[in-house]
Amino acid sequence: MKKIVQGWYILFLLIPILLVVFCSFLTKGSPIDFSFSLEGYKRTLHYGFPFLRSLGYATVVSFLCLLIGFPTAVVIVSSKKWRAMLLFLVILPFWTNFLVRIYGWKIILRQLDLLGTPWAVIIGLTYIYLPFMILPLYSSLERFDSRIYFAARDLGASGLQSIIKVVLPCISPGVRVGLLFVFILTFGDFVVNDLLGGAKNAMIGSSIRDAYLLSRNWPLGASLTVVSTLLLLCVFWIGRKWRSSGT
Amino acid sequence: MLKIEGINKRFGSNEACKGINLEVRKGECFYLLGPSGCGKSTLLSMIAGHLSPDSGDIILEGHSLLNMPPNKRPIHTIFQSYALFPHLTVFENVAFSLRIKGVVDLEERVLKKLDLVSLLEFKDRYPEELSGGQQQRVAIARAIIDEPSLLLLDEPFGALDTKLRKEMQLELKALQRSLGMTFICVTHDQEEALSLADRLAVMNSGSIEQLGTPENVYDSPATRFVASFIGESNILDGKVEGDKILLSNSISVPITKKFQSGEIRGVVIRPEWFELNDGVSVFSLTGEVISRLFQGASILYLIKTELGKIKVLVPVDDDLSPRQIGDSVVVRCTSGSFEVV
């Protein structure tokens, strides 16, 4: 069993990553020349804004999803009778194609005169990735003893204080998984931004896609990918630091 | 100190509390006793403020609590299974309410309370690293940290094994006395309520069946429910006729309470109220011993009589010649040793 797991990791995680890392140090050709070059990494320096935009959107959307997802998950957990139905409703949008739903939003956002603005991107991303927050929060809350919340209220904490000081720390595995999902997925997304935000304000996902598919610059695409991955790792490292210093 | 006036609470079609009235005195240990689903926990939640009543009022020292959220009430609760904060150490659990209040100089106060429940050496542990008894001590320390005037306890000993339960009961009772706090406890364990309560209210399906001291409730149960729920009892049914109840054609019992003639009422006789020797009696029954349980200080006999099977408890000292199974005996009910419900 352990061998299978190791084999799985090597085949589907390690080899692809090494290929990308390898590719990022090569020279642009058609598509690549096998000679060493740092050209790809040098050019990533011009991609500061897409990186920042992705980080910014991912941060905002993760916390928005937590803000909306937490009360939603609480409602689902506390309604014994409708629980299955509500969970079904959370998953239901996945049954419709992603693009169709985004085009739906396009119509709504145009009516609201928001199309092409960062708000449109934030709304779209939050909508798309919300279920990835709700589901892990739900599974954590289901195992949470609600008396612990009442104990906090009883000892003088207001509703909000009880949630922040007691409930969220108690369900932190779910919160972390939810934030992780939403952050990673949002960071790499390019479709929502292209369709709702307009292509000129690219997120890093679109830049990577363009590098690989439009300008056929594989080393640049690979460099951008490597830097993205390192950035994500940095974010999680900071998150861990912050968490362990918080408790 | 705490007055509960005409509290009603309904969940859908289920009436959890039906017009409950009671008054808890300062410094007493008051018990709400009843089977599960009788409304006792609902009532406790309403006092704590986690639920609000449909009608009625809850008044603490002259002020209504109804529009006060639970965090503003000067009341703390020890929850069933304690509800300790799993992500905080013992120290931080106990310090919680002081931290919320913004008390800066709290270390000494917390340590003092931890010392009181002899948990000083465990202050840096997490709740999951403690035994059940220790967890309960944390819950106690956490609830008494700012010396609330009223402490609510929801099945406080439910999660402990029998031996530890006795120990903790004695300890908590001593603590209550020394701190002079008012306790309201909820339990379904009649033994616990009888031994710890100063006064108790026996609840059944949303109403209070009887309110009084443990002695009072045990010795003169007001209703059939109280008689059967608290302690062992023989309830013999009979028809009321004037100032008597007929238990059979030849056996009758005089009654002082006013009942309608023709009503069916129960005569409650505790097993230890019967006598197995000769003497004056209100009525006596001849029967046959069909079972015998030695209980250390006393012997419980099950005796088959014309009124059905009757439990009789006889202290070993009084029982000079212990009866054997199959023996024929005379069971005597003396005057004053029965209650009609």
Whether the CB-CB separation of B12 and B64 falls below 8 Å is answered with no
Closest CA to B251 of B318, B310, B307, B327: B307
Q: How far is A218 from chain B (nearest CA, A)?
A: 47
The answer to whether residue B101 sits within a structural domain is: yes
Considering the domain boundaries, does residue B302 fall inside one? yes
B84 and B173 inside one domain: yes
pLDDT tens digit sequence for B107-137: 999 999 999 999 999 999 999 999 988 999 9
Residue A90, classified by CB atoms within 10 Å of its CB into exposed (0-12), middle (13-18) or buried (19+), is: middle
- Of B43-52, B75-84, B311-320, the one with minimum mean pLDDT is B311-320
Q: Is the pLDDT of residue B146 over 50?
A: yes
Chain A's closest residue to B89, CA to CA, is A247
Instruction: Tell me whether 0.85 is exceeded by the ipTM.
Output: no
Partner residue opposite B79 with nearest CB, options A147, A156, A169: A147
pLDDT of residue B161: 85
The dihedral built from the CA positions of residue B313, B316, B320 and B326, taken in this order, carries a sign that is positive
Q: Give the separation between CA B254 and CA B261, rounded to whole angstroms.
A: 13
Residues from chain A contacting residue B76 (CB–CB below 8 Å): 154-155
B201 forms bridges with which residues in the sheet? B32, B211
- SS3 category, B195: helix
Amino acid at A154: D
Using CB atoms, which residue from A150, A159, A169 is nearest to B83? A150
Within-domain flag for B225 = no
| Listed residues B219, B248, B279: the one ending a domain | B219
Interface size A-B, in CB pairs within 8 Å, comes to 63
Show which of B193, B219, B245 is a domain's final residue.
B219
Domains of chain B: total? 2
Helix axes A98-111, A118-142, angle to 10 degrees: 130
Quick check: is B99 in a domain?
yes
What CATH number is associated with residue B254?
2.40.50.100
Domains of chain A: residue spans and CATH: 44-246 (1.10.3720.10)
CA atoms within 13 A on the CB side of A112: 14
Q: Which residues constitute the domain of residue B242?
A: 232-340
Burial B182-219 (b: 16+ CB within 10 A, else e): bbbbbbbbbebbbebbbbbbbbbebbbbbbbebeebbe
Give which of B46, B47, B79 to mutate to test A binding, by max A Cβ within 10 Å. B79
Does the residue B304 lie in any domain?
yes
Looking at the structure, tell me whether residues B215 and B262 fall in a common domain: no
Residue B213 phi, psi dihedral angles, 5° rounding: -75, 160
Instruction: For A150, name the nearest residue in chain B, comparing CA atoms only.
Output: B50
What stretches of chain B adopt beta strand conformation (E)? 2-11, 14-24, 29-33, 55-60, 63-64, 75-78, 150-154, 182-187, 199-204, 207-212, 234-241, 244-246, 252-254, 264-269, 274-275, 283-294, 298-305, 308-315, 328-333, 339-340
* B47 interfacial to chain A (CB closer than 8 Å): no
User: Domain check: are B207 and B237 in the same one?
Assistant: no
Asked whether residue B168 falls in the same domain as residue B44, the answer is yes
Q: Which two tokens stand for residue B107?
A: 């270390």
**Cβ within 8 Å, pair A147-B100:** no
Domain assignment present for B300 = yes
- Nearest CB neighbour to B71, from listed A148, A153, A166: A153
Same domain, B145 and B170: yes
Same domain flag for B157 and B67: yes
Instruction: Name the packing angle between helices A48-78 and A83-91 (round to 10°).
Output: 160
The answer to whether position B227 is within a domain reads no
Same domain as B196, residue B129: yes
Task: Examine the domain organization and report whether B197 and B250 are in the same domain.
Answer: no
- pLDDT tens digits, residue range B56-91? 999 999 999 999 999 999 999 999 889 999 999 999
Please identify, among B190, B219, B248, the residue that sits at the C-terminal boundary of a domain.
B219
Q: What is the pLDDT along chain A (247 residues), one digit of tens a residue?
A: 889 999 999 999 999 999 999 999 999 887 788 889 998 899 999 999 999 999 999 999 999 999 999 999 999 999 888 999 999 999 999 899 989 999 999 999 999 999 989 999 999 999 999 999 999 999 999 999 999 999 999 999 999 999 999 999 999 989 999 999 999 999 999 889 989 987 678 899 999 999 999 989 999 999 999 999 999 999 888 878 777 665 4
CB contact under 8 A, A145 and B69: no
Q: Are residues B211 and B87 in the same domain?
A: yes
The CATH code of the domain that includes B200 is: 3.40.50.300
CA B316 to CA A220: how far, in whole Å?
A: 96
Residue at B275 is within a domain? yes
Q: Are residues B66 and B202 in the same domain?
A: yes
How many whole angstroms separate alpha carbon A114 and alpha carbon A110?
A: 6
How many other C-beta atoms lie within 10 A of the C-beta of residue A14?
12
Shared-domain flag, residues B110 and B131: yes
B96 with A152: Cβ contact below 8 A: yes
Cα A151 off chain centre by: 34
B170 & B279 share domain: no
Among B84, B85, B100, whose Cβ lies nearest the Cβ of A156?
B100
Contact B79, A147 (CB under 8 A): yes
Q: Which residues pair with B153 in a beta bridge?
A: B78, B185
Chain B interface test: which of A155, A163, A165 (most B C-beta within 10 Å): A155
In terms of CA atoms, which chain A residue is nearest residue B144?
Answer: A155
Per-residue pLDDT tens over the stretch B265-310? 999 999 999 988 777 888 888 899 999 998 888 899 999 998 999 9
Binary contact (B71, A150; C-beta < 8 A): no
CA of B67 vs chain A CAs: smallest distance (Å): 14
pLDDT at A247: 45
Asked if the Cβ–Cβ distance from A148 to B86 is below 8 Å, we say: yes
Chain A contact probe: residue of B68, B71, B81 with most A CBs at under 10 A: B71
Are the beta carbons of B100 and A157 separated by less than 8 Å? yes
